[in-house]
Amino acid sequence: MASTTLQEPSTEVKAFLNSDLKLLINGQRVSSANGETFEVLDPSNNLVLTRVPKGEAEDIDRAVKSARKAFETGPWRKLTVSERGKLIWKLADLIERDQEIFAQLESLDNGKPLAIARAADVPLTIDHFRYYAGLATKIHGETLDISVPYAPGAEFFDFTLREPVGVVGQIIPWNFPLLMATWKLGVALSAGNCVVLKPAEQTPLSALKLADLFVEAGFPDGVVNIVSGFGDAGAALAEHDDVDKVAFTGSTEVGHKIVQASAGNLKRVSLELGGKSPSIVFPDADLEIAAQGVANAIFFNHGQCCAAGSRLLVHNKVFEELVERVADTAKNIRLGPGMASDTDMGPLVSREQQERVLGYINSGLASGAQALAGGGKPEGLDAGCYISPTVFGKVKPEMKIIQEEIFGPVLVASPFDDLDEVIAKGNATEFGLASSVWTKDINKAHKVAKGLKAGTVWVNCHNIFDANAPFGGYKKSGYGREMGLHALEMYTQVKNVIIQIH
């Protein structure tokens, strides 16, 4: 089902792609130290969109030094919190001005439909920066009453200061390139930190465009540094002795490496890793809404969501009916380039991901799982990294496809009979990122919400995100929470001050 009405990138986007793209280090646009660049591909046809600098350890080191200088002696910490908030708000205004450029870059680079980038990625980004712009003036310590038994009669005044952590390294993936950068940058800057950000090698474009806007908004030199590069640049950031904290979103495998690399200087770490999140449907749910909802839970962003509802657990009474509806939805999804107006689902981000997901589909088929929809690559779209939306029915617990994160448009379905059983099944993976429950029974909703070991439980919805709502994992899905007030915990440290009043 190839789409036909392909939108040309705008003049501004073409100009951006044709420009000499640079790193942002110490407020300057610079080439990588070795002068090397690498190709950025359009996953709908694997043609080269542009080239970007290949930052390596030396560039990371330059960026960390500039962030350190900005943090210790630059104007950043001398700004009032109101001035800091105003700068972040200004950045949000500039993103809003350039929203169409960001939406097109995101679609071209990642493969997602332009309509989705316009409706979700970019508006969420703008909202998110505004939330943290507002929060800059609301971060505060507390006063405490203390009783000191070994100092009878003494009077004390105890207060806390909530201070920034310092220089923060941030490493992000390719599934929501702009939004992942935003989730990391917004809170870090609001709390007064200086940052070195490394975008994913597959999708560096929106981060480099964002770099333009940090300069235009007037952020002091060195407060935000952006270094495109490969995993070795990420590793250099995670290891760097002068980085106080590293924040990572990506695979559990690299998450382990980040923790090991952090040991050198015992830097703080926060991790947002993979998931194998269950969507749980009870027979009393509105089945039409539930079918649409659980299909969206897995197929949104082509299943390339850490919170994707990739395991469908359906009560036996309605299993056949619901799974059939989801399979029908999957069959009707129109595949095509993100820039085509009639595309529902674009290509995966890269050939590597396409091969990886195909490997899982083949392993499912080989182990006897039945594909009720999809089950491979679509016909006639070989130039791009496409995978047909796939639904596997009655999957066995020992199969790889029900245990491991596939990170593609592949749903595995299995039935259940009662509440305790479905909570146990919901928890039966090493992950614990998200989940959804579909029921009209408030009691069941509460019981499942309490029983699941997951950082987010959605009831009668899935993939609902807001800057005010904390997000993060249980178990091997990571630690620390992004967004909301909770994210401040990861980007501030508490100093206690005790004054004796004589």
Residue of 251, 296, 460, 493 interacting with ligand NAP (CB under 6 A): 251
Q: Find, among 179, 439, 429, 391, the residue nearest to 295 by Cα.
A: 391
Q: 483-489, long-range: CB within 8 Å, 24+ apart, which pairs? A: 483/128, 483/183, 483/187, 485/135, 487/187, 488/135, 488/139, 488/162, 488/187, 488/190, 488/191
CB of 169 to ligand NAP, least distance (A): 9
Residue of 249, 414, 436, 439 interacting with ligand NAP (CB under 6 A): 249
Residue type for position 69 = K
- Decide if residue 109 touches ligand NAP (CB under 6 A): no
Stretch 408-437 residues interacting with ligand NAP (CB under 6 A): none
CB of 272 to ligand NAP, least distance (A): 6
The interaxial angle of helices 99-110 and 11-18, nearest 10 deg, is 60
* Binding flags for ligand NAP, 300-329, as an x/- string (CB under 6 A): ------x-----------------------
Q: What is the DSSP letter of 272?
A: E
Report residue 12: phi and psi, to 5°: -65, -40
Stretch 212-241 residues interacting with ligand NAP (CB under 6 A): 230-231, 234-235, 238
**Backbone torsion region of residue 470, taken as left when φ is above 0, otherwise alpha when ψ lies between -120 and 50, otherwise beta:** beta
CA distance 393 to 115: 31
CB of 318 to ligand NAP, least distance (A): 30
Residue of 71, 132, 407, 465 interacting with ligand NAP (CB under 6 A): 407
* Binding flags for ligand NAP, 43-72, as an x/- string (CB under 6 A): ------------------------------
CB of 482 to ligand NAP, least distance (A): 11
Give the total of residues touching ligand NAP (CB under 6 A): 25
Q: How far is CA 232 from CA 89, 180, 319, in A?
A: 33, 20, 46
Q: How far is CA 266 from CA 167, 243, 431, in A?
A: 14, 10, 25
Residue of 65, 112, 130, 198 interacting with ligand NAP (CB under 6 A): 198
- Decide if residue 405 touches ligand NAP (CB under 6 A): yes
CA distance 259 to 441: 42
CB of 67 to ligand NAP, least distance (A): 17
- Decide if residue 204 touches ligand NAP (CB under 6 A): no
Nearer to ligand NAP, 212 or 405 (CB): 405
CA distance 340 to 347: 12
User: What is the separation, in whole angstroms, between the first and last Cα of the chain?
Assistant: 81
Residue of 49, 67, 273, 395 interacting with ligand NAP (CB under 6 A): 273
Contact residues for ligand NAP, defined by CB under 6 A: 171-175, 198, 200-201, 230-231, 234-235, 238, 249-251, 254, 257-258, 273-274, 306, 356, 405, 407
